[in-house]
Structure 1
Amino acid sequence: MATIRNILIVAQDGRLQYEALLFAASLRHFPENRDLRLVVAEPQPGPLWQGDPRISRPAIRRELRALGADIIPLHSKVFGARYPQGNKLEALALLPTGEAFAFFDTDTLITGPIVDVVAGPPTASVRVEPTWPREPLYGPSLAQIWGALYDRFGLEMALTLNTRFGADDWRRYLYFNAGWFTGTCPHQMGERLLHYVAAIERDPPPELATQTLFPWLDQIVLPLAIAAEGGGRRDTGLDGPKSLHYRALPEIYAYASDHAVDILEQVTRAAHLWDIFNQHVAFRRMIFKENGPALRQIIAGTPPPFTYWARRKQIMDAGYWVR
């Protein structure tokens, strides 16, 4: 079967540019991944940005290119600063039409070869928490909320249900973490996602009256688009041995495998990269001042809390939260 060859991330000024460098360096750390095309979408100044969102560190730009990344301007027409999570949807248009792809958030560490990820039906990360929707006390139900969205776009929700779980269980419904997702044509998926976003934001179904759309909008439309393209839940290894969506560096030291920590430290301590990473407070404190190993000893043997906010609180209580 064909495999994915195009990898997309979005990088800009601030923390994301350092995360993008870590992503690229960990991707190329594995020789098998060196023939993958890495596209870095870089938002450009414009009416949807108050300032300049471009990568500000020349050294990071230089090293990304040395790692084989194609840095391509992204001229935001829909989201920009008002909803940065949505810029990934616009960035899909920068990839070659008709070619399979994988998108990753920059706060992802590649921990193994991903060159063998099959370009099958679209899918996304199932390392997800019950962040949306919130079921109101007096209704509508989860089934009614999701059903209204599927009906709006002429989709068959029944084909997506995980029937191991009951109607009141959020796990029954197709809901993904947008930290990574794959597709067979970036232009087709991007156009579909943007169409769904515009329709929901402009005229949400009545069943969504009590729901908060932001910051969950990208994750609301993702399962709809994946279902529309014949995709669904699929094991790619990207939620396990091949990649780690860490959100904040302390989470790697607190909860990730020894292998993931080893990859992080090998990549960031490379002779030509360490001084760049050392310029960001999270990398400096967790890696180069060795707060990370200290946190790992404190948390060792403690089951990771299920939600991001609970994990963050546990790390904060230990005195090591930084992002």
Structure 2
Amino acid sequence: MARRPAHPETVNIVIVGQMGRLAYEALLFALSLRRNTKDSRFKLFVAEPRPGPKWTTDPGIRPEPLREMLQSQGAKILPFDSKHFGSDYPYGNKIEALFALPKGEPFLFFDTDTLVTGDLGDVPFDFSKPSASLRVEGTWPQLELYGPGYSEIWKSLYDRFGLDFESSLDLTQPDEYWRRYLYFNAGYFYYSCPHVFGQRFLDMALSIWKDTPPELACQQLTPWLDQIALPLVIHSLGGGRDALPSGYLDGEVTVHYRNMPLLYARESDAVVDLLEEISAPNQVKRLLKDYEPFKRMIYQNRGQKVRALFDRDHLPSREQPIRQKIKKNGFWMV
């Protein structure tokens, strides 16, 4: 019987917080983490991009009471410099923030639009084998009628970085079906060292961004660049789609809700109850009401009106019809 990997002494959780939506989502994340994960090995960092030439406005977390509330939940604000992306590609924050974390300590990155619904200490991580979220749809590449197919596009990227393409394939899936190819949502990912992972992620993303392979000539890189590079990073470091047992992240322990209308439309009663519990205290309510989608969805009960539109046992298999129905009824907010 295989032994479970030894528990590291510290696991550094990192989310990116900055002015606007991400700051308010970061507070919900921190509240849910403190509510449900009791394992003291997990330390929360809220990475904050510093102002600089890559930003058109100051991206810092504000107002000040929001910063203070994050810190009161055990979060450490972690400033970092945006040397490559900034306003041109804000998703690059999740790459550049990794270099501000302690070197050589396991890390776990989450998008801020995530709730921790269970104890992360129960998740059987093997940080030597990275992985990422499989709660994903076939968003990239989008094939052109006379353009290259999935295999040609993805193989060009594996070849670019000297990686074995064939070993990345899920051979249980049909040829030229998107699920055959290694593809993740970047809503979470992890590894044993943020600097090793971050450097690989940065090098691959910049190579694709600045010297795009001809097979990608018809493909959009924005906003998909991080999700194009991520499977290449994970494959190159010995990870993959099966590195973490299913049912924990994007399951019983975390939920990547994406935005409030989608949370109310499709998540379980337990997730909605958690959201409304952690957002109820007056000192939290005073802060979260400043963000209009939270004000209307949580505190003015529009979320429950969205919820009444859907049968959670018979949801559409794709996200787009859910979004369309919410928009048709006038409840879409981000």
Report the TM-score when normalising by structure 2. 0.93
Separation in 2 of the partners of 1:77 and 1:308? Answer: 34
Separation in 2 of the partners of 1:109 and 1:31? Answer: 11
1:235 aligns with one of 225, 233, 245: 245
User: Greater shift after overlay, 296-305 or 196-205?
Assistant: 296-305
SS at match of 2:282: coil
Separation in 2 of the partners of 1:155 and 1:257? Answer: 40
- After superposition, what is the alpha-carbon deviation per residue over 1:281-319, rounded to whole angstroms, capped at 9, x for unaligned? 111111111111222122235633344433221211222
Structure 1 unmatched ranges of 5 or more:
none
2:161 corresponds to 1:161:
no
User: Greater shift after overlay, 32-41 or 84-93?
Assistant: 32-41
Structure 2 unmatched ranges of 5 or more:
none
Matched positions, count: 323
Instruction: Check whether the contact 1:74–1:91 (CA below 8 A) recurs between aligned residues.
Output: yes
User: Greater shift after overlay, 199-208 or 189-198?
Assistant: 199-208
Query: Equivalences for 1:35-184 in 2 at 5 Å?
Result: 35-117=41-123, 118-120=125-127, 121-184=129-192
- After superposition, what is the alpha-carbon deviation per residue over 1:86-130, rounded to whole angstroms, capped at 9, x for unaligned? 111000111111211110011111111112331331000001111
Alignment-derived partner of residue 208 in structure 2: 200
Separation in 1 of the partners of 2:317 and 2:201? Answer: 28
Instruction: Check whether the contact 2:37–2:121 (CA below 8 A) recurs between aligned residues.
Output: no
Separation in 2 of the partners of 1:309 and 1:48? Answer: 33
User: Greater shift after overlay, 183-192 or 135-144?
Assistant: 135-144
1:283 aligns with one of 294, 318, 328: 294
Separation in 1 of the partners of 2:110 and 2:6? Answer: 20
- After superposition, what is the alpha-carbon deviation per residue over 1:113-152, rounded to whole angstroms, capped at 9, x for unaligned? 1123313310000011111111221231110110010011
TM superposition shift of 1:33: 4.3
- After superposition, what is the alpha-carbon deviation per residue over 1:51-85, rounded to whole angstroms, capped at 9, x for unaligned? 11101111110011111111011110000011000
Instruction: Check whether the contact 1:3–1:115 (CA below 8 A) recurs between aligned residues.
Output: no
User: Percent of aligned positions with the same letter in both sequences?
Assistant: 48
Report the TM-score when normalising by structure 1. 0.96
Alignment-derived partner of residue 273 in structure 2: 262
Label 1:131 to 1:26 Cα distance change in 2 as closer, same or farther (>3 A).
Answer: same
Aligned residue identity for 2:6: A
TM superposition shift of 1:173: 0.3
RMSD: 1.5
2:303 corresponds to 1:298:
no
SS at match of 1:293: helix
